[in-house]
Structure 1
């Protein structure tokens, strides 16, 4: 009997000890650091110094294929832009819409309808169908003018490709080859939609009355520090846009992405970080949004 009692006591003690260890283990284990990045505002006196280029800090842009007939050969002048390949063109232009797309058709085919003509023909066909099918006799509404006005709205907000060149139907730029272009391309794919989502969220909570009058373009310049593995460590805001809600969208997008994979080791500087400078531009007309809400 004493032996059985001792065995039961020992078993109960060990079971209790195991339960205590299971309960205490999460409390005693080291906690993972929170997923945050440090955001700093550069001292005003150091902003210009920080913006001074290392190799003139030429802007990296998406590669856009250009027809051979528009290229210029044997031009060795230094290009202001960097991309996947070196190219020189007769005239620099940028497409009016700067989404994640490439030039698909640089010249219109003979069978391709002009935009206004296509819209007009489509409207006429719709009108004929509505007249035939509508038993109440309502007249179709021509929205051609409305479509034309919509196409004249402010340009799209974009990451990185705000250029001082003429706007055209496609993109043709003078570029020099950037050794690490593929890394910047991966980074844009990760950041762009996250940033656009953050901008839309900021607009939903923004009071248009707080925006300075006459301002429709808001630019924030940020320097991001990545470690050698591509983990985002710090964001330094070097230039404020004047709209705090927009200033934080860029750092928030990088925080959401967390890591830019496979950074080239050659990009790591003496301080152990990779330095990425990005200008985030939001085209936003508070008057237009206020007018839309009133209607």
Structure 2
């Protein structure tokens, strides 16, 4: 009887496991599916009861409106430029910081490393007023400089943590052999550390790019000119721009905003996963 009860519990646990996974996937993907399919509906069809799970007569009206929206390509350029530039700077600086933490041990190095990560756990909303005062006093409001520096500074701590863990798994004997052959520190980083750390580099690059692409509080606070808006900022302003709640247009704009970074992430999904796992393990 005990064995039968145990088998019954194991059977139920397996089924509950798959039910939990199904519910998690459903609640994660269904809003995305609903948003994308609704962007192809007409203005009236989106309010239809019962709702259409798939548009009966798909329309491109919302996407034509988005791509012809005044300033759209400027917003797209701003998002791309800020994301790529800040990600490049954040990854470059994080490589140097992580190399120092993983290779040079000094007094209180562990405490300093923890202090280096503290800015990451500070809520971003609490940084808005100090950053506004700082950049306003320096005269850099409505400029790419304030946004790039702010984006870069917030991405460096997490990138450094991941890269430090990954660099710690690379045997120091490789660098010691290269140093004996006359390789400088720059050459050792460029020809040994970076090639062996490709998964980790791609991981932090994707994370930095995603965070910069989706960033909203800083651009909302540090910019007032329309020409400096990014796609997430303009998505927030869509209702005021149209004057009415044209949900197919709003959802089309949201789709155009999230699809590039979603595709980019899916392309490097396996590399990001392995980079995070290996970066979390220190030998």
Indicate the TM-score class for this superposition, using the shorter chain for normalisation: under 0.3
Larger radius of gyration: 1
Which has a greater percent of helix?
2
TM-score (norm 2): 0.25
Higher relative contact order, chain-length normalized (CA < 8 Å, sep 6+): 2
When normalised by structure 1's length, the TM-score is 0.24
Higher strand share: 1
